[in-house]
Structure 1
Amino acid sequence: MRIPLSPYDTVPTALLRFVLELVALFLIGAAFGVINFLISVAAISLFNAKGDKRFVGIQVSGPVRLMIEIVIALMGIYSAGLAFGGVWMLGLGVVWALYLFLARERLLWLAQGAKDEG
């Protein structure tokens, strides 16, 4: 099932990405403090590629959006290691790797510039 206005995204991968982003944001706040948490929330919610979401904040190219998602993911994984130890870091990394595999069409679309399909 595809999500309207979000090419190459499915409901399961969108839900998984949402949960992983929430976990990453929580971990960033736990490891690096409130200011870094707020900066991360602002970055992930305001900067969107054209056609990727219903809410349009500041439009950026697909590769820029992809870079933001990758930085938040890596900060979350690193934060899991700082806050809870290596086992949690490894576990979160494995779940992110699973997401990357499942969402490869959307990620490739973003990497190629998030071109409109219509």
Structure 2
Amino acid sequence: MSKVEVPSKIGLDSDPVERWALFFTSAVEQERKKVLDSLIAVDEGIRMANDVLCEVTQDDYERAAIFEREKILRDYYAGLANATNKGKREGFDAGLAQGRNEGLEQGLEQGKKLLQEEKMNT
């Protein structure tokens, strides 16, 4: 994209093309706000363009804010899902360990009973 040099002598009484050039260079520089305000007061087309520029910029800010809120919610729900899955895994592992221990205890008891029965039968 090529840059256009705007002469510093352009003023409010310049022709419309020069005022538009001044508008575009002033619109991106905050320190030239007074120049922009003066142009808006003099030229209806520039005022309308500035209104559209402000609206588009505001839409960008709103879109960014909405995106950020959605990201926060996605992160929150992803964290909940992760915690739920982790809890299920831990519960499953604990249940499996408890089941093994109970099965082992039952097996030992049955083995002891069988040994006692064999001793009684012999």
TM category, shorter: under 0.3
- TM-score, normalised relative to structure 2: 0.24
Q: More helix per residue: 1 or 2? A: 2
- Which structure has the greater CA radius of gyration? 2
- TM-score, normalised relative to structure 1: 0.25
Question: Which structure would you say has the larger RCO, counting Cα contacts within 8 Å and 6 or more residues apart?
Answer: 1
